[in-house]
Amino acid sequence: MNLSEKKVMVDYIRLQGGEVDLLTGSNSEQDTATSKIPDWTFEIESIDLNQIAYRMGKDSLSFFYTGLKEGRVTEGIVVLGGNAVSVGSVFVSGGWCRMRSGEKVAGDGQVSWTPEVPAVPWTIRAGTVRLENSAFQMERQNLPQTHLVLAGIGIQLDSIYNRGSVIKALLKDLKAVQEGGIEVTAMRAAVDLDTAVTALHGMYVQTPYSWLRLEAQADTSLQHLMGKMPLAVSLNARIGMQDILPFYENIPLVIRQ
């Protein structure tokens, strides 16, 4: 610890067997206490994670449960005063996420407020993020047809940057199997979501029966794109019937053949 430079340097942290539960109420109150983020920097060489879970519930999200079997974060730097986080790499194996959304009750008495000083967005950078052998499950309460289950998820993202609504990343690979649906064996793309451009370059998706190449760009941010600005799209694909049937079961037999 360097008090004069307000810096904490840590070689190694290990977290094992932890579970956090958070249950929020339907009302919220304005925090009238004034606070100032301490201008400290934390440098952590590596963090090992083992059997960590987080559970949350609230009105609009009745069930949210996520965690991992094992993971590692390397070369982490957190600058509290500068609202910045950077890591060299993030690795997660055996991750899971299960969520069930509920119906938000109108007129629940929730208090909304705007802080006097607008919040400064955090800047997040990561060299590589890799996820393997993971699963995702999502459903809408009382709507079983919206059920989505993905297994065998593997993802690799490089050169990640996020600040507010600005997102830039290179999707190197993605694999996943949808329950009763399609299997994605490969996927890659360069994602650029900025205040002046929305772009998806070099996108390629492959399944055992299909492939797709896509280029898309608009000269505006994503939030101003829909119905307001032209979107240039170039699409080239070959779609196999096996990837269509899970979504359209009533296709006539003559077309299937």
pLDDT, averaged per 10 consecutive residues of the chain (257 residues), comes to 90 91 67 71 95 83 87 95 94 92 52 54 95 90 71 95 93 91 93 90 95 92 74 92 81 70
Q: Which residues pair with 55 in a beta bridge?
A: 21, 65
Q: What is the pLDDT of residue 113?
A: 46
The burial class, CB within 10 Å (0-12 / 13-18 / 19+), for 235 is exposed
Q: Coil, strand or helix: which one is 15?
A: strand
The confidence score (pLDDT) of residue 106 equals: 45
pLDDT, residue 28, reads 59
Q: What angle do CA 198, 203, 204 make, to 5 degrees?
A: 165
Which sign, positive or negative, has the C-alpha torsion 155, 158, 200, 146? Answer: positive
Note the pLDDT of residue 45. 96
Token pair of 193 as six digits: 């979501």
Nearest Cα to 210, choosing from 180, 186, 234? 186
Whether the full predicted model's pTM is greater than 0.85, yes or no, is: no
Side chain identity at residue 77, one-letter code: I
Report the distance separating Cα 90 and Cα 175, nearest Å: 18
Beta strands in the chain (DSSP E): 7-23, 41-57, 63-79, 84-93, 96-101, 123-140, 143-163, 166-178, 183-184, 186-193, 198-206, 211-218, 232-238
CB atoms within 10 A of CB 180: 8
**Token output for 111:** 């208090």
> Bridge partners of 213?
204, 236
